[in-house]
Amino acid sequence: MTDATVNFDGPHGPKPKPIFSGRNIFIYGTLAIVSAYYLLPLYIMIITSLKDMDQIRGGNAFELPIGPDFEAWVKAWSSACTGLNCDGLSRGFWNSFQILVPSVVISILIASVNGYALANWPFRWSNIFFTILIFGAFIPYQVMIYPIVIILRELGLYTKLTGLVMVHSIFGMPILTLLFRNYFTSVPEELFKAARVDGAGFWGIYFKIMVPMSLPIFVVAIILQVTGIWNDFLFGVIYTKAENYPMTVQLNNIVNSVQGTKEYNVNMAATILTGLVPLVVYFISGKLFVRGIAAGAVKG
Amino acid sequence: MKKELESLFIYSLVLALVSKIAIGLGLGKWAIKKFDLTPWMIEGLPWLFIALMAVCVYLLSRAGMNSKGTAQKGYSGYIIGWAIAALLCFVLWDFSDAFADLDIEFEFGESSLLLRFANYVGHGLLLLVTGLFAFGNILGLQTAAIFAIFTAAVVVIAQTREEDEPAGKIEKIIAQNIVAKIAAVPMIMTALGVFVGCTIWTIFYSFTKSGLLPKANFVGLDQYERLWDTSRWIISIKNLAIYGVCSMILSLLIGFILAALLDQKIRFENTFRTILLYPFALSFIVTGLVWQWILNPEFGIQKIVRDLGFESFTFDPLYNPDIVIFGILIAGLWQGTGLIMCLMLAGLRGIDEDIWKAARVDGIPMWKTYLKIVIPMMRPVFITTLVLIASGIVRVYDLVVAQTNGGPGISSEVPAKYVYDYMFGAQNLGQGFAASTVMLLAVLVIIIPWAYLEFGGRRQND
């Protein structure tokens, strides 16, 4: 709640505090040190990727690169090897992209309709299903991995990208459904009732009232899913095979491969490249990202 | 009479589905072996219930022989819908192999957009219809039969209900709020088919001797005994315990302190928050790899401190079996504290400004206000955060894979990695299932009391 503004002449508000009070130095000092610590890995990643191997062997990890050298980036993107494939991270990037787009669209479509049905059209036992769904978000994935392998194999989708899209859509459902259900519950009921009186049905209200009113929550859901799916490793490594590996799996294979000499600059360049998409999403989205991650904890 | 018939119809429908699923899960074969039954006794069960459904429909039609059928008009849509469902089941099952071959490979330009779209729709439908019962052709036929009989039931109801008669059970199921029910089918399928079904399947098979493939030959608790006799599992559990306790305490502590600092109405709050939270946007793989590099003794922190003149300084957590888990903890904390901070900050913001004012008027020092008033008030936030952290900790997998891959030796193994390695690496499914069941139990121990508190409390508020 914002404080009510008080209008009267002369100085008002609390007594101005000195800028360099001990309290301020303590607060800003601590925050600055902690921030430096948090930024350190990013800094090291970037400078290491811009060095050549000679400098890495000779110097330490903190010193600046002699001349920025983007060769490691080029190599990481287009010619780093994982096993027999030597076409770099680009393959993983496109795989991740092809997994990401349909997964995000499908999971949000399903979850928003689910949330809408739960919030505005509850039916018998709908809350029981919802509770099970939320419990599912906490169950360790390890318990469900293998039966899903069998189901995907039966459907002929095991090791294919489509199968992974399905898995992401399923496991994105609990948190997204919660997000949408809570949002739709907060939409005034009068609106819904008025639309009902005017003869709008399930889909009519959904498309004409709920969706246009809840664009911010759709953006939050997109942010949540893009970062979540892009960062996934477990499902990628289980439900796809070598040429379909998403970027995270490929990155791990490049960096932790036991063959050949370790090229730390290429490894770090590859690491940044993989982290780039969620980072960009994060820095662009700002407060919406916070809202997304808090969705799991702050219940309506 | 009509009421009882409708109930009977619904119960036989449910039993038919349950027996289908049970057979699909492999319970049928097990029962045949165990009790020395002839196969048709088990495989015939769903058919028996389907037949019972058919009989109910017939009797229903007899019972309402002379009625006018005022419900007829609105029901034609349902009749067509269920009939299509029956047809789809029958057709899709026969052609499901053909459908599966039409996988979308996303090679742009190879197939037209329309074709790819059509493939998606096909797969989606396939999933919808087969998701729960995808265990073979005969079961597909049964599903089709169930849908067909359901169609017949709708026809009968439409033909026989009088206007002043209240809607029966079947009618309530098919007619009331049907769009919402259909729209929620993916959710119901996920909740029951994946979350409940798959979990039960895994628990069930954890009592078997499954090796390369899941087989229903029961060995009781042997897998569990073996699990707790394996030193690798013991190490995994110990590591998880150390990691879990440290990470809970430290991330709560650091998260709260940072949130309290950010809550002092400071400038650049957004900048600080953005910096502290950005690691959370990165994956565990990226986190693990970065910290693997920073903690590398030849180039990272150890080397830097040694260059400063401390020649004997050693800091190589990732290469020392005794402290390797703390090396992982450092990375884990770096990635996760930002989230905790945000949750705590939201909690602090939720505390009434007047409480601060009152405390100040009473001359209570700031730290005491936090300790004695604010933290007790934030108890629900703390509990929720703890549950979030705890359920995340049990899943720790990618971080370890990226940072140490369980090494040196097996000193940084964690349960999730144990499960994966036994399921997909060592081809010892039974061990994997048993280990994952233990993980599930660990999570349930945390979740159930919390859910009880949470939902029990909420019911009182309503």
Q: Residues A268-286, buried b or exposed e (16+ Cβ, 10 A)?
A: bbbbbbbbebbbebbeebe
Q: Which residue, chain included where needed, has tokens 């490249």?
A: A273
Q: Which of residues 117-156 of A touch B (CB under 8 A)?
A: 117-118, 121-123, 126, 129-133, 135-136, 138-148, 150-151, 154-156
Quote the pLDDT of residue B99. Answer: 44
User: What does the domain layout of chain A look like in residue ranges?
Assistant: 22-69, 90-294
Poorest-pLDDT segment among B15-29, B43-57, B345-359: B15-29
Residue whose C-alpha is closest to residue A270's, from A67, A46, A94? A46
What distance in Å separates the CA atoms of residue B237 and residue B197, rounded to the nearest whole number? 27
Q: Do B276 and A48 touch (CB under 8 A)?
A: no
ipTM for this prediction: 0.87
Q: Do B299 and A142 touch (CB under 8 A)?
A: no
Quote the pLDDT of residue A1. Answer: 43
What distance in Å separates the CA atoms of residue A102 and residue A113, rounded to the nearest whole number? 17
Residue B223's identity, in one-letter code, is Q
Q: CATH fold of A90-294, please? A: MetI-like fold (1.10.3720)
A95 token code pair: 């795989």
What is the rounded average pLDDT of the residues B361-377? 87
Poorest-pLDDT segment among A203-217, B22-36, B303-317: B22-36
Q: Are A255 and A45 in contact (CB under 8 A)?
A: no
Q: Does B191 touch chain A (CB under 8 A)?
A: yes
Q: Does B260 touch chain A (CB under 8 A)?
A: no
Residue whose C-alpha is closest to residue A233's, from A244, A214, A218, A246? A246
Q: Is residue B305 exposed (0-12), middle (13-18) or buried (19+ Cβ within 10 Å)? A: middle
Dihedral-angle region of residue B165 (phi above 0 means left; psi in -120 to 50 means alpha; beta otherwise): beta
Q: Do B123 and A157 touch (CB under 8 A)?
A: yes
Per-10-residue mean pLDDT of chain A, 300 residues long, equals 52 66 85 92 89 79 77 84 77 91 94 92 86 86 90 82 91 89 88 88 89 89 90 92 88 82 85 91 84 57
Q: Are A98 and A79 in contact (CB under 8 A)?
A: no
Estimate the crossing angle of helix A215-231 against helix B284-294, to 10 degrees. 50
CA angle in degrees (0–180, nearest 5) for B433-B438-B443: 125
User: What does the domain layout of chain B look like in residue ranges?
Assistant: 2-205, 225-461
Q: Are B244 and B439 in contact (CB under 8 A)?
A: no
Poorest-pLDDT segment among B163-172, B351-360, B408-417: B163-172
Q: CATH fold of B225-461, please? A: MetI-like fold (1.10.3720)
